Amino acid sequence: MQQSRFTNIRLLIQGATALFDEGKISVDEFGRLIDDVENDYNRIVADMQTKEMSELLLSYVHQTNNR
């Protein structure tokens, strides 16, 4: 699932770049699009890190309870 999210981000960047290269959006619009994509990327990475930390903590608790 994470990979498809990153694929979507890559496609959004490619689309924004194509629109800019074709002169269909301004520099400011391009900048806003890229900022939004960057925010999405950062949110996905933070979600992944939270999930990994949660899994580590659950594993630790499970191991501790089985001792």
**Confidence band (pLDDT; 50, 70, 90) for 3?**
confident
Q: Tens digits of per-residue pLDDT, 31-53? A: 999 999 999 999 999 999 999 99
Torsions phi, psi of 34, nearest 5? -65, -40
> How many angstroms from the chain centroid is the CA of residue 55?
20
Please spell the DSSP secondary structure of 4-63, one letter per residue: HHHHHHHHHHHHHHHHHHTTSS-HHHHHHHHHHHHHHHHHHHHHHHHHHHHHHHHHHHHH
Residue 1 has pLDDT above 70, yes or no: no
Q: Tens digits of per-residue pLDDT, 13-35? A: 999 999 999 999 999 999 999 99
**Confidence band (pLDDT; 50, 70, 90) for 2?**
low
Angle formed by the axes of helices 27-65 and 2-21, nearest 10°: 170
- Residues 39, 41: Cα–Cα separation, whole Å: 5
